[in-house]
Copies of this chain bind each other. A is one copy, B any other.
Amino acid sequence: MENGSVLVDLFVLFAAAKVLGEIFEHFRQPAVVGELLAGLVVGPHVLGLVGASGAEVLDVVAELGVVILLFTVGLETTVGDLRRVGRSAMSVGVLGVILPFGAGVALMFILGYDQADSLFVAAAIVATSVGVTARVLRDIGKVRTTTSRVVLGAAVVDDILAILVLAVVAGIVQGGLSTLSLVVLFVEVIGFLAVVVLAGPGLTRRLSRFVRIPGIPESPFLVAVLLTLGLAALSETIGLAAIIGAFLAGLVFEFRKEEVVSQVEPVYEFLVPFFFAITGSRLDPGVFGDPAILGLAAVVTVIAIVTKVGGGFLGALPLGRERALAVGVGMVPRGEVGLIVASLGLGLGLAPPLFGVVIAMTVVTTILTPPILGPLVRRAERSSEGRRGDEER
């Protein structure tokens, strides 16, 4: 009965995550940073309060957490949203992926890192964290502005591209991806995306009919769980990350969506903190004792910020400079996807100190953004309101 200590581990992780999360929220910082630090502090490398139950066992809980997280993020977006924000979001998203990835690979190669290290670090600085961005915009009550829509739309484009980048990087590192297999992978990803987006709503409806047996008022959440686990498993089976499937499940889910949004909330609250705390517990802060690694973390973080602000700014320039700057800063926070990329990388040859570099980058970009983004969005929307008065509604 190895389970003996699992519940103790889970309690310690959850309690620490909540305590530090609350402290961070109290100082108007994202709770996610507190949760990461909590895992780090109670984890095997610092206090050693958790870890007795074995990494594999905790990994499952982390995996459930991240699947629920990506489902929730997908749920906050619709295929329609993606189409509506259209060209600006697309430019911002694409530039915001190409610049960080290119700069990341270049930097790491110049510094003499090998292929796996370079590709994984570059892939990890690509993806904007939709969660942090959306949360800040919601906190300042500016979700329904042009700036916000472009940032949110671009973050989605950016997430999908980041996931493609991840698939490609993982493929290259694992199998020495040939041109043919690269093409197959692309076709697979695009095919999967297309099938899910086209067939998803129909599938949801069918599933919902199945569970709505006469006389039994069944919860739509059940349909959501089936769809999410099913697409996550399918996604993994065809060689993509499970989180792609989970995200797409959220994206296409339309059946009694409001109920599901409120029902997924407690599941999110219960399971998602484990992902961040368990992720944090994997970081050995000892790596920062090495000045070279500390320096690398600083350089990677600067590259991550500059390329993302730059990409966002250039992509959104047609909307005016102030908005473009707000959009660029809105794209800066990195979070779950970067950490997922790094976790995946750890299993595929990423040097452990570089995992620390990615966490440091995530923490710094996540902490820095909220206090800067709020005022920028307010100013951008106020001045363009004065000029055109077309954005809030």
Interface residues, chain A, CB within 8 Å of chain B?
Answer: 1-4, 6-8, 10-12, 14-15, 18, 22, 25-26, 54, 56-57, 59-61, 63-64, 67, 210-211, 213, 216, 218-219, 221-222, 225-226, 229-230, 232-233, 236-237, 242, 263-267, 269-270, 344, 347
Q: Which of B4, B7, B15, B219 contacts A67 (CB 8 A)?
A: B7
Q: Which residues of B contact A213 (CB under 8 A)?
A: 22, 25-26
Q: Which residues of B contact A236 (CB under 8 A)?
A: 4, 7-8
Q: Report the minimal beta-carbon distance from A12 to chain B, rounded to whole angstroms.
A: 8
Q: Which residues of B contact A12 (CB under 8 A)?
A: 233
Interface contacts beyond A2-B59, A225-B270: sample of 18 additional A-B pairs, CB < 8 Å, sorted by A: A2-B56, A3-B60, A3-B63, A6-B60, A7-B232, A10-B233, A11-B233, A14-B229, A15-B226, A18-B211, A22-B218, A26-B213, A56-B57, A57-B60, A221-B266, A263-B265, A263-B266, A266-B266
- CA–CA, A12 and B22, complex, Å: 37
Which 3 pairs show the lowest CB-CB distances between chains A and B? A11-B229, A263-B266, A11-B233
Q: Which residues of B contact A7 (CB under 8 A)?
A: 63, 67, 229, 232-233, 236, 242
Given the interface pairs A3-B60, A61-B60, the reply to whether A232 lies near B11 with Cβ below 8 Å is yes
* Identity of the chain B residue whose Cβ is nearest the Cβ of A228 in the assembled complex: B11
Count of this chain's copies in the oligomeric assembly:
2
- CA–CA, A211 and B17, complex, Å: 12
* Identity of the chain B residue whose Cβ is nearest the Cβ of A54 in the assembled complex: B56
- CA–CA, A222 and B15, complex, Å: 10
- CA–CA, A242 and B225, complex, Å: 26
Q: Which residues of B contact A22 (CB under 8 A)?
A: 210-211, 213, 216, 218
